[in-house]
Structure 1
């Protein structure tokens, strides 16, 4: 965050800027208990895709997909890929399709399902 050239993050942390008005810096910072809360807030992960560059977009998509898979395996108590049942593979595929961030081909690859099966799952979601 603080390394991104166009970010105003450091302006808020340092409360020193040539661009932002002090009044507005204070308004934003007053939403937080202290600067540590402000920093913590900006470190939170979410599944929203924020696009700054093509490289960052691809990295964000990869992180969101990976986190979705990890959360699913934790929720289901799956520790080894071999433990996935067909139903779980299909359920995960539906989740990945709903993200609408990767191709159907990639969903099929990640879930070890046929392309036709993933297409079928996608059609069912639309109905």
Structure 2
């Protein structure tokens, strides 16, 4: 990421979100702030935003990963919600050179926080 405040608007390939989060040491910063979970969700209207029921289930079970997909299987790739424990993201970030991911080689749209304004 160009900055810790950049948000992607399109897919970055398997492992892309973990790589981008770890590039600015975000998991360690979040852990120091007391954050326990990171949510990665689709931008569709079907599943978007923080999912407290999924987060509660992941926390209650002590799981490292929780996921929810749409019941409409025709839109499964566009409608997802993943919650990772910060500790799990930190452990994945340490293994980025060992993990085999498939990159999507293309420019991605993003927004960035500039002088307290989100800009494209």
Q: Give the TM-score taking structure 2 as reference length.
A: 0.24
Task: Name which one, 1 or 2, has greater alpha-carbon Rg.
Answer: 1
Comparing both structures, which one devotes a greater share of its residues to helix? 1
Q: Report 1 or 2 for greater relative contact order, CA contacts < 8 Å, sequence distance ≥ 6.
A: 2
Comparing both structures, which one devotes a greater share of its residues to strand? 2
Q: Give the TM-score taking structure 1 as reference length.
A: 0.23
